Amino acid sequence: MRSIEKNLGTFEAAGIRPVAISVDSPEETRHLCQKAGYTFTFLSDQNDEAIRRYDLVHEGAGENGKAIARPAEFLLDSSGVVRWLNLTENYWVRARPEQILDAAKTLETK
């Protein structure tokens, strides 16, 4: 996420809107954004609705056995079709901004 924030200008210039999603509450997420200086959109999925719909639930991996999201990135075009995705096999290893921007080059505005 830090690398997304650092490259936010490049993403926006490419017409890409980054959106981060986790099970944290809006308050917790706001604290994270303030502390870390994130300025792009962050959403709270406290009831794992979206996380479940995208089949990314990691049962019991959170605090007190709570379900959380496994890390994943999806690049959608403006019609909402998935054009690129990254389901990492190791949660320390995340997509790099260069990879995402490369994939974004194939997107066209409708």
Partner 1 sequence: MIKKFNWQIWFGFLLAFAGAVTYSFVFVDYPALRDFPWTALGFFALALGFLFAGFGRAFAVGSRLRSKIAASIVGLLTLAVMGLFLFAVLIAARWLPESKNAPHVGQAAPEFTLPDINGKPVSLSELRSTPIGGNAPKGVLLIFYRGYW
Nearer to partner 1, 2 or 37 (CB): 2
Nearer to partner 1, 37 or 63 (CB): 63
Q: CA torsion angle for 107, 72, 5, 19 (degrees, to 10)?
A: 70
Token pair, residue 85, equals 């995705």
Which string of x and - marks every residue 9-48 that binds partner 1 (by CB under 8 A)? --xx-xxxxxxxxxxx-x-xxx-xx-------xxxxx---
- Contact between residue 45 and residue 62 where contact means Cβ atoms under 8 Å apart: no
Q: How many CB atoms lie within 10 A of CB 10?
A: 15
Q: Which of the residues 78 through 97 are near partner 1 (CB under 8 A)?
A: 78-85, 87-94, 96
Minimum CB separation from partner 1 for residue 37, in Å? Answer: 13
